[in-house]
Amino acid sequence: SGGVRPTSLTVRKNIVYVLNAGDPGNITAFTLYKLGKLTPLANSTRFLSNNGSGAAPAPAQVSFTPDGRYLVVTERASNLIDLYKVDKNGLAVGPTSFTSSGATPFGFAFGNGILIVSEAFGGAANGSAVSSYRIQGDQLQLLSGSVATGQTAACWIITSKDGRYGYSTNAGSASLSGYRVENDGKITLLNGRAGETGAGTGPTDAAVSHNGRWAYVLSPRSQTVVAFQIQADGSLLSAGSFGGLQTGPAGIAAW
């Protein structure tokens, strides 16, 4: 993977970037071929905010922006969000690092082109939040700062297919919080407990189906996946769960 402890990846056309969370931390690119073969992209490894020195700053997620012009990385330990510019050959330049609105920026997703970031606030009881940003002129512009979930340990974020709604998975509260993404990119809390995953589940990663109808939430503690139907008004309707997963599942993708 070009580093230690690969923890997140993102794909844009034929380029794959992997986030390596082990010391000192980096991102590294691969070329993806039609039959699934991966080949390292030469000279693609880039350090995080620590410039390759010392311990990794607990990076959580890497993702291309919807237009593919940038890569975003969240750093939990440093409370920073890293922005890399991507050239025509798929090579990243940077990072430029920006201070997160709230503590422990974790997962993120894009809705209506707006960057929506979960903030775990170090796992403080009922202390997590979600913020929104616009990427403009190689800068991050804060739109909504730390809109509270009222829940504990907001870790990952998903957005509805139309980009109008976002949902944080709250590992410490066994819940999902729902947000509306306004036309100006600001976010409004709809329901701090828009979805319930059940006692002892500890929901982490989540994914939305390609048709936008379903949200699937990974619950490692119970070794289950919990399903919700996404309603037109952004509310979530429980659709049950299924189990039988092996111990220690870490990520989920949906079709």
Residue 199: predicted pLDDT? 92
- Mean per-residue pLDDT, 70-98: 97
Q: What's the pLDDT at 1?
A: 96
Residue 15 has a pLDDT of 98
pLDDT in tens, 53-67: 999 999 999 999 999
Instruction: Using pLDDT thresholds of 50, 70 and 90, give the confidence band for residue 255.
Output: very high
pLDDT at residue 206 in the model: 97
pLDDT, tens digit, for every residue of 19-54?
A: 999 999 999 999 999 899 999 999 999 999 999 999
Residues 6+ apart with CB under 8 A from 126: 150, 151, 152, 173
pLDDT average, residue stretch 165-190: 97
What is the predicted pLDDT for the residue at 242? 93
Which has the higher per-residue pLDDT, 208 or 137?
Answer: 208
Q: How confident is the model at residue 153 (pLDDT cuts 50, 70, 90)?
A: very high
Output the average pLDDT for the chain. 97
Long-range contacts of 4-12 (CB under 8 A, 24+ apart): 7/59, 7/60, 7/250, 8/59, 8/60, 8/61, 8/62, 8/63, 8/251, 9/62, 10/62, 10/63, 10/64, 10/71, 11/64, 12/64, 12/68, 12/86, 12/90
